[in-house]
Every structure is written in C-alpha cells, then in structure tokens.
Structure 1
Amino acid sequence: MTEKLRNEDDLTGVTRLVRLEIANARRALDGMGEDPLLAVHEARKSIKRARSIARLLRESDREVASLVNAAARRAGHVLAEARDADSLEQLARAMVRDCDDDVARPALSELAAQARADRERVDRETAARQAARALDEMDRALAGLPTPDDAPDVVARGMARTYRRAAKRLGKAQSVPDGERLHELRKRAQDWRYQAIALKRAWPDEVARRKSQTDALVDLLGLHHDLSRLARRLDDLADADAAIERVEARCEALAAQALERAEAVFGDRPKKVKKALKSGFQDAG
C-alpha cells in the first residue's frame, strides 16, 4: 500500500513518505527466507513508490534529487531479474491453462518450462543484499535533500513534470504503439498514480479526476508489457507461430484499450494541468 500524507502533515511531509517506502522495502527483503517471490515483488513495489514520490522534490535540489533517483534505480534494477523471471513463468502458465488451441499450447508449455528453469537459477539472496545496499545509499542521499520553504510550489511543479513526461510518452505511443513506447508510457503513468495516492489528502480536483482512470491504465499497460516479453521469448522457439499470433493479438487489443484510457488521463495540455496543480497545492499547503 502506498504511503500517504497524514491529516496533520503539510506538503513538507513528502520526504517522510519516501523514508517510509524505503523502510517497507527493507521489511519485504527481510522476508526473503520465508517467501522469496513475495519478498521480491513487495520490495520492488515499495522501491518504485519511493522513487516516484521522491521525484516530487526534484525542484528543491536537482543534484541531490538525482542521487536519490540513481540509488533507487539501482535498488530496483538488482531485483528486476528475479521479478521478471517470476512473472514470466506465472504468465506463461496462465496462458497454457487458458489456451484452447492445440497448435499454440505446446510452445506456451515449453516457454513455461524454460521460465521455471530461469526462475530457479536466480540468486535472490545476493540480489536482496545488493538492493539493501542501494536502499542505504538512497537513504543517505535523501538526508541531503533540503526541505523546501515553498513546498506546495515544489511539489506542484514535480507533479506537473510527471504529467508532462506522461503526455509526451502518450504522443509517442500513439504514433508507434509498440512494446517499448507503451512501456515508457506505463512507467510515467505509474509515477503519476503513486504520486496521486501519496498526496491524496492534499490533491486538487485536477488530480482526483484522473486517478481512478490511471489505475486501470497502469494495469492494462502492465499486462501488455508482460505479454510483449512473452512474445519475444516465444520467437526463439521452433513451431511457435500460432502461440505468437495468439499473444500478439491480445497485445494489440490491450494497446488499443490502454491508449484510449491514456488519452482521458494525459490528453490535456500540460500547461493547463500545471496551472491547476499549482493553484490546488498552494491552497493545500
């Protein structure tokens, strides 16, 4: 669950939220011995949330914010192999269960077996230690991030930047709706989603109006990303054309749904949204 501002917080409480998400990631990693799949999944989510929320403070000190962001990127990156292997196996097995095509099923079954073998080779304990060190770096870098005197303006500009970047990625994905561009849109939409939840107590109407739409958008783009990865892996197998065709057809349908929702969330002019955000957060601060 994304950490949120408390009722008694003003917008300077954003730094506290980042630290809480770092602590959540550490607790998840501590559970690696009990349930490694869940530990990696929960730690990565907390790291992503910490990184997204920290981006709100970029304008308070760009150099320090860059160090915080780089440490968060390293923490997430070392866990990515484990999470990707886990999710690919789960998705491949789900596709096998749901597949009613006798021609496509063998390739999907073979990929599921490969994904399981890949998952079993991942050294999660080493990845967890490396991630924990990166979280320590992030915590130290965060200590150097000054608390802004004009917190409402800094946070509003941070969220406006997130919106602007998402709108830009939307334009590129609309021109060429391939896996890479849709994945970039997903990352920016995810930032917006986490930031909106974190600032729920303070958010202006401009954020609230888009938040529920972003939930569904991120889910659609996440499934599209996983299926795109699955299609690329199928391409390495013999006699996989039927399975690839099946997966790609589902990707096309998901892309169309996602772009329609993304237009509803990120289709306004960024300058208009920035103005509304600055007005709303000044009132909240």
Structure 2
Amino acid sequence: MAYSVKPRDRTAQAALRRIACSQIDRALAEIDDPGLRRDEVVHRLRRRTKKLRALLRLVRPHFDHYVPENAAFRDMARLLSSSRDATVMRHTLDGLLRAWASKALPGDAARLRPLVGEDRGAATAAEVEGALATVGERLRAARGRVAGWTLDAEGLDALADGLEKSYRRARKALAAAEAKPAAGRLHEWRKRVKDHGFHRRLLARALPRGLRAGRVQLDLLGDLLGELHDLAMLRERMGAAADAPPRAARTRLLAAIDRKERDLTARSFDAGAQLFKRKPRMMARRVRRRLAAM
C-alpha cells in the first residue's frame, strides 16, 4: 500500500514526502511506458494528480506551502482535461443509448453521436503528447521540491486534523446538495467525497473497523456522483452545440438524462446519509488515538 501512512514513517512529514515521491515516480514511469495507450496514460495521470492533491489536503492544516503546491498539481490535470473529457462524453452517451434503446427511434444514435464526436474539442495526438511532455517536466520539478516540504507538526496523529476537515466538508456539501440538488452542488459534493475517500485510504492502518468498511461504500458513492457529473456535462454539451440534433431526438435524450439523474441522486443521498452520520469530532478522535499509537 504505497498510498498509505505506515508506522515506519515515524512523522507526518516523513509520510508526506515518501507518499508524494512514490506517486510522482509512478506517474513519470507511466508517461514513459510504451505498453500503455495514451488515453490510459492520461487517465492514470489525472488520478495521480487527484491523489497528490488529496495528500496535500490531508496535511493542509500544518503545511504552509499548500496553496502553490496544490495549484501546481491542479494545473497539470487541466492540461490533460480536454482529451479525457471527450472520451467520457462518448462513453456517457453510448451508455444512455443502450439503456433507453426501447424508447429511442431509428436514427437517434446517428443524430446524437456527432455531439460527442472526435471533432468536438478532442485533443489531437500531437496535443496529447505535448501535454504529457509538459506534465512530465512539471512532475520532475515537483519531485525536486518534495525534499523541502515541511510541516509544523511532527506526530502522525496530526494527520487526523486533515481527515476531520475533509469529513466535515463532505457533510456540509451533502447538506447543501440535499437542500438544492443542482449539478454544481452535486459536483462539489463529489469532490469532497473523493477527497475524504482518499484520506481514508491514506490512514487505512489507523481506521476503526467501521470506518475501514466504509471505504468501499465511499468509492461506490464517488462513482454514482461521477455518473451524475458526466450526465451534467453531456446536457451542457448538447445545449452548447451549434448544430444541435433535431428537437425530437433532443427531447428523448433529455428525458433519458432526467430519469437517470433522478435515480442516481436518490441513491447517492441514501448512501451519504449512512456514510456521514457520525459527528466529525468524534470520528477524528478515535483515529487520532490510533495514529498516536502507531
């Protein structure tokens, strides 16, 4: 478990440096791996940057350089977003077309697929290679900075502060989404859920049994909210298309999106109610004690 705090880390600072170096080294190896398709490399690198940013958020209460370092990894991910977004849109539309095949009319697929075709903002192969080269350079620069990262707290128990904060933010984002389940609020909740899920992975060895069991449910909740985000992106793409498909096909697609969104939203709220029912301070107190004993 390279993406996890270990007893041999001794201090929070040592854990931060070791895990960051491990993730950066793996990302650089993936860029140079000739056996990986470029779209798979993009997918893996975007996930690496999310894991690195989650690691930084875990130590944020004690890390003075959080803001510039977080921005550096965020900007790396943005360089790769257009290629990944185009792939996601195609998969989302194909999944919808399969799910509502009985309600679609002959020709609907042909009318709708140009919305997410290769020419709709997808990066060219040369652009992807250029972005990967730039990201590689920035990762190597970040790798050099890691040795200078310092925290204002030593003990591993200090990491419970970041865990409590991510849990509190996820609970707050859930309440906001329940009050008004708009796409923006659901996406914000998704980000907070993902962060907290990564934090539970990072502190897996110190989690009580109930929190360890919840890691799988958190991953599933993140997947549900990810599907909701993909549907919202597809809806936005359809509205922004200059040569939108005929109104009838558009109406049928919107109806399919609406049905799917209602189902995913209800399932997400049910899962969230179970996963975030504990009080943040009580949850963190137990983890803090176990970290101090590692």
Residues of 2 paired with 1:44 and 1:136: CA distance? 16
Partner of 2:42: 40
Partner of 1:261: 271
Output aligned runs, 1:179-198, within 5 Å. 179-198=183-202
SS of 1:118's partner is coil
SS of 2:204's partner is coil
Could you tell me the TM-score, scaled by structure 1's length? 0.88
Residues of 1 paired with 2:281 and 2:111: CA distance? 49
Partner of 2:4: 4
Q: Percent identity?
A: 25
| Post-superposition offset of 1:6 | 4.4
| Post-superposition offset of 1:111 | 2.3
Partner of 1:248: 258
Checking the alignment, whether the CA contact within 8 Å between 2:92 and 2:230 is kept in structure 1 is yes
Cα distance, 1:266–1:134 mapped onto 2, change above 3 Å: farther
Checking the alignment, whether the CA contact within 8 Å between 2:97 and 2:104 is kept in structure 1 is no
Checking the alignment, whether the CA contact within 8 Å between 1:96 and 1:109 is kept in structure 2 is no
Partner of 1:283: 293
Cα distance, 1:117–1:67 mapped onto 2, change above 3 Å: closer
- 1:81 equivalent to 2:85? Answer no
| Post-superposition offset of 1:202 | 2.7
- 1:93 equivalent to 2:94? Answer yes
**Aligned amino acid, residue 78 of structure 1:** L
**Structure 2, gaps ≥5 residues long:** none
| Post-superposition offset of 1:135 | 2.1
Checking the alignment, whether the CA contact within 8 Å between 1:183 and 1:221 is kept in structure 2 is yes
Partner of 1:174: 178
Checking the alignment, whether the CA contact within 8 Å between 2:96 and 2:256 is kept in structure 1 is no
Partner of 2:57: 55
**Structure 1, gaps ≥5 residues long:** none
- 1:129 equivalent to 2:133? Answer yes
Checking the alignment, whether the CA contact within 8 Å between 2:2 and 2:22 is kept in structure 1 is no
- For 1:163-200, what per-residue CA distance to the aligned partner results, in whole angstroms no more than 9, with x for missing partners? 11111111111111121111111111111111211222
Could you tell me the TM-score, scaled by structure 2's length? 0.86
Checking the alignment, whether the CA contact within 8 Å between 1:28 and 1:40 is kept in structure 2 is no
Q: Say how many residue pairs are matched.
A: 282
SS of 2:25's partner is helix
Partner of 1:224: 228
Cα distance, 1:275–1:5 mapped onto 2, change above 3 Å: closer
| Post-superposition offset of 1:218 | 0.6
| Post-superposition offset of 1:209 | 4.3
Residues of 1 paired with 2:134 and 2:123: CA distance? 19
Output aligned runs, 1:133-148, within 5 Å. 133-146=137-150
Cα distance, 1:125–1:268 mapped onto 2, change above 3 Å: same
**Aligned amino acid, residue 229 of structure 1:** M
- 1:119 equivalent to 2:129? Answer no
Cα distance, 1:266–1:245 mapped onto 2, change above 3 Å: same
